[in-house]
């Protein structure tokens, strides 16, 4: 699907079929003579012009957009899934209808983010004497530490517990370079419960540090290490989330793993199948070593065919660029972000992501409309504004990271601020009503950014601005968990608007009927006023806290 998906994406971006109703344009001459929008920097005066355009941000419009974007048809907008492409078409058609210029260097409104999706291919198995063992059922390996390997009729050496310690050394006198070893997990202990390595009744690091045996084998140039796991089913179930599933990374972060040693965790069933010709079993070997306290190693007579393979597919996802050019201060840019991706379809469940982050996506659409209407009326912003619906936030803030680290459309030094909106349609259980909003990060780089937002709220929206999550010691670390953080990390003053988490967070129950559109309207207008002030005041805000 991915490849087909890729090609489809490009052709649709120009003529999508999203259910977008004609925006009701107030019939004004296009590009009325640009008069410089004047805003004062420290008055408590209401700005009628700003209020006029803030008023175009309505609960009704928001409901229309969000009902579509959070509908099952959009499949929870997962990165690399068709639903997200559909959302991208909806959003870019909106940009197009509001005649935003395309600035994506030949990609229209798209800012392609090269992502790689990695997962286990179907060709993962272990075979002993024609008996085939399947992944997870009888063996597992950790994706991060695995390279593709195809070992046919591989000879195996049993090497006890794979321990090398002054008191107990399975490697002593053994040539293991380039070989495939099978070792027991844990360490030898006598029937009184005394461990041969520590000489006490407490286990050593060889039991407690899962990586110690792997490191030892790797340092000795072993090719593949098979570790027999006694409570196999429990362990496989425990690690399942780390092992299965796919991971999505920025292409640049996918390092071709040097052909490194693989560690494969196998069930006693596989081990005993291998030991059949040696007329032995794992249980017997453990008992023997426990009795003698002596290392035990030998050639395993049965061979194994081992296939380990992961696929790495390029998936193209896109940040979406909605640019509104400024006037006299147009070289300076304010970036307004909201991620339009969510976690998509998991199993049979569609995670609609109405609040996360359909609400922020919609709020930015409304701000685009308001700002373009102002520009059409001749009250366009003095500084340029890049409205950016970013992708792959749920995969690790990848879309915004790619923008700031690899391919900023505008020089970061000209980027005055980042305004990020992520989850603004609900309330958390810490508040009795919706008349609040968490503000995170505003004062961390620029005092003025914080003050401006406070003043705008005092003048226009009178919300209870909650700074609980702005605390440097906030255990939730929300400051680091949304797209503004990639800009803040670059020293760009950034403000994050958030309504807090709730019971439906990242669940299929995060649906549109639970959204409070009146609250979203008020919150959206606050964010718009802060944007208006930042883009029109004479002096650029200072990063005085850096």
Binding site for Zn ion (CB under 5 A): 356-357, 422
Longest distance between any two alpha carbons in the chain, whole Å: 95
Closer CB to Zn ion, 196 or 498, in the complex: 498
Q: How far is the CB of 79 from Zn ion (least distance, A)?
A: 12
3-state DSSP helix/strand/coil percent for the chain, to nearest 5?
A: 35, 25, 40
Closer CB to Zn ion, 356 or 366, in the complex: 356
What is the enclosing helix (H) or strand (E) of 248? strand 247-250
Tell me how far apart the terminal alpha carbons of the chain are, to the nearest angstrom: 46
274 φ, ψ (degrees, to nearest 5): -65, -35
Closer CB to Zn ion, 160 or 353, in the complex: 353
Q: Where are the beta strands (DSSP E) in 271-414?
A: 298-308, 310-324, 329-339, 345-346, 349-350, 383-390
Sequence-distant (6+) residues with CB within 8 A of 290 are 188, 189, 190, 191
Sequence-distant (6+) residues with CB within 8 A of 360 are 338, 339, 420, 421, 422, 423, 424, 497
Q: How far is the CB of 423 from Zn ion (least distance, A)?
A: 6
Q: How far is the CB of 393 from Zn ion (least distance, A)?
A: 6
| Dist. CA 337–CA 341, nearest whole Å | 12
CB 183 within 8 A of CB 228: yes
Angle subtended by helix axes 360-376 and 59-69, to nearest 10: 130
Q: Is 247 helix (H, G, I), strand (E, B) or coil?
A: strand
C-alpha distance from residue 351 to each of 2, 289, 342, 343, 499 (Å): 20, 52, 8, 6, 19
Sequence-distant (6+) residues with CB within 8 A of 11 are none
Closer CB to Zn ion, 216 or 356, in the complex: 356
Closer CB to Zn ion, 162 or 360, in the complex: 360
Residue 253: count other Cβ atoms within 10 Å of its Cβ. 13
Q: What is the 3-state secondary structure (H, E, C) of 42-86?
A: CCCCCCHHHHHHHCCCCHHHHHHHHHHHCCHHHHHHECCCHHHHH
Closer CB to Zn ion, 119 or 396, in the complex: 396
Closer CB to Zn ion, 369 or 422, in the complex: 422
Closer CB to Zn ion, 13 or 421, in the complex: 421
Q: How far is the CB of 341 from Zn ion (least distance, A)?
A: 9
Closer CB to Zn ion, 61 or 422, in the complex: 422
């Amino acid at each position: 699907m991915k490849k087909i998906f890729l090609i489809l994406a490009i052709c649709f971006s120009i003529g999508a079929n999203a259910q977008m109703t004609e925006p009701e344009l107030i019939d004004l001459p296009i590009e009325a003579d640009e008069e410089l929008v004047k805003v004062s920097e420290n008055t408590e005066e209401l700005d009628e012009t700003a209020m006029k355009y803030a008023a175009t941000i309505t609960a009704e419009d928001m409901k229309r957009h969000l009902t579509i974007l959070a509908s099952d048809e959009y499949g929870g907008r997962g990165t690399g899934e068709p639903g997200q492409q559909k959302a991208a078409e909806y959003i870019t058609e909106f940009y197009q209808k509001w005649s935003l210029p395309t600035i994506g260097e030949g990609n229209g409104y798209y800012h392609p983010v090269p992502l790689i999706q990695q997962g286990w291919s179907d060709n993962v198995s272990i075979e002993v004497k024609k008996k085939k063992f399947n992944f997870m059922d009888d063996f597992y390996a950790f994706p991060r530490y695995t390279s593709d390997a195809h070992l046919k009729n591989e000879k195996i050496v049993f090497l006890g517990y794979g321990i090398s310690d002054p008191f107990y050394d399975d490697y002593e006198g053994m040539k293991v370079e380039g070989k495939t070893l099978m070792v027991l997990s844990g360490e030898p202990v006598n029937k009184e419960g005394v461990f041969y390595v520590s000489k006490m009744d407490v286990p050593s690091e060889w039991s407690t540090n899962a990586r110690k045996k792997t490191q030892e084998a790797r340092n000795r140039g072993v090719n593949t290490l098979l570790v027999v796991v006694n409570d196999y089913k429990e362990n496989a179930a425990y690690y399942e989330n780390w092992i299965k599933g796919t991971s999505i990374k920025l292409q640049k972060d996918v390092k071709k793993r040097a052909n490194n040693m693989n560690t494969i965790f196998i069930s006693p069933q596989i081990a005993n199948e291998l030991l059949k010709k040696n007329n032995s079993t794992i249980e017997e070997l453990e008992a023997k070593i426990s009795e003698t306290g002596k290392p035990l190693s030998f050639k395993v007579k049965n061979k194994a065919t081992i296939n380990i393979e992961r696929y790495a597919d390029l998936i193209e996802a896109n940040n979406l660029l909605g640019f509104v050019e400024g006037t006299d201060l147009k070289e300076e840019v304010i970036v307004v972000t909201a991620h339009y991706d969510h976690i998509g379809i998991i199993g049979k469940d569609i995670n609609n992501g109405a609040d996360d982050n359909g609400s922020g996506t919609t709020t930015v659409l409304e701000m685009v409309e308001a700002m373009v209407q102002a520009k059409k009326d001749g009250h366009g912003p003095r500084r340029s504004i890049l409205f950016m619906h970013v992708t792959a936030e749920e995969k690790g803030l990848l879309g915004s990271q790619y923008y700031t680290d690899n391919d900023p459309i505008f020089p970061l030094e000209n980027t005055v601020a980042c305004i990020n909106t992520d989850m603004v349609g609900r309330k958390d259980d810490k508040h009795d009503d919706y008349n609040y909003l968490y503000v995170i990060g505003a004062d961390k780089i620029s005092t003025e950014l914080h003050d401006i937002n406070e003043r705008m709220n005092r003048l226009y929206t009178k919300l209870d601005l909650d700074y609980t999550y702005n605390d440097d010691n906030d255990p939730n670390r929300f400051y680091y968990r949304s797209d503004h953080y990639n800009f803040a990390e670059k020293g760009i003053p950034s403000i994050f608007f958030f309504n807090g988490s709730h019971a439906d967070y990242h669940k299929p129950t995060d649906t549109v009927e639970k959204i409070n559109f009146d609250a979203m309207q008020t919150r959206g207008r606050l964010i718009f006023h802060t944007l208006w002030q930042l883009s029109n005041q004479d002096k650029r805000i200072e990063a005085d806290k850096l």
